[in-house]
Structure 1
Amino acid sequence: MSFLVEENPAKHRFEILVDDALAGFTAYVPRGEVLVFTHTEVDDRFQNMGVGSALIRGTLDQIRERGDRIAVQCPFMRAFIERHPDYADLVIPEP
């Protein structure tokens, strides 16, 4: 099983493809230089396979590469960052 995480700027989200099938996404709202992540969804067919974690990890790695920052309103992403504090430096506090 191969994972590919790509940004879809037209839909304001990062998507994960599993063997070329859309398996899930994490949506954001651009606010200046910051991406505010609001929602993560994984298709039922791909639940409990690590797809959600792979999606968030791939998203955060790409954001780090670009030098961007994020705000997190999505509970799934917030929980992932709490479990992986090495990503906490990407997060700005919500006003």
Structure 2
Amino acid sequence: MDVTVQDNPERRRFEIRLDGEVAGFADYRMRDGAVVIVHSEVDRAHRGKGLGGVLAKQTLDTLRERAEQVVPACPFFAQYVADHPEYDDIVVK
């Protein structure tokens, strides 16, 4: 199983791909210099495989590498960062 997460700036979303197929995404918008994660989802056929957590982790890791701040407006991402305080340095409170 090959899993990758990539930014698709044309669609303003991070996509998680499973064996090359888009299996989920996290939509974002830019606001006041921060990346606002507004919505995320994993395709029904791929739920229960932990892909949501992989999507959140790799999205946040990429944003950290870019020295960007994030607003987790999406409930899934908000819960993920609440459960993973190691991302507090990039989360806008």
TM-score interval, normalised by the smaller of the two chains: over 0.9
Q: TM-score, normalised by structure 2?
A: 0.95
Residue by residue over 1:33-78, the C-alpha shift from the partner in whole angstroms, topping out at 9 and shown as x without a partner, is: 2111110010001101000000010100100000000111100001
Partner in structure 2 of residue 30 of structure 1: 30
Any unmatched runs of 5+ in structure 2? none
Deviation at 1:84, TM superposition (A): 1.0
CA positional deviation for 1:82: 1.2
CA distance in 2 between partners of 1:31 and 1:37 (Å): 10
| Other-structure match for 2:87 | 87
Q: Does 1:48 align with 2:48?
A: yes
Higher share of residues assigned helix: 1
Give me the CA root mean square deviation.
0.8
State the TM-score, normalized to the length of structure 1: 0.94
- Determine helix, strand or coil for the equivalent of 1:59: helix
Quote the Cα distance in structure 2 between the aligned partners of 1:71 and 1:81: 10
Residue 83 of structure 1 deviates from its aligned partner by 1.2
What secondary structure, in the 3-state scheme, does the structure 1 residue paired with 2:70 have?
Answer: strand
Distance in 2 separating the partners of 1:64 and 1:2: 23
Residue-pair matches, total: 93
The AA in structure 2 aligned to 1:81 is V
- Give the Cα separation in 1 of the matches to 2:2 and 2:11: 23
- Cα distance in structure 2, aligned partners of 1:88 and 1:26: 19
Identity of aligned residues (%): 39
Q: Secondary structure at the match of 1:90?
A: coil
Paired residue for 1:65?
65
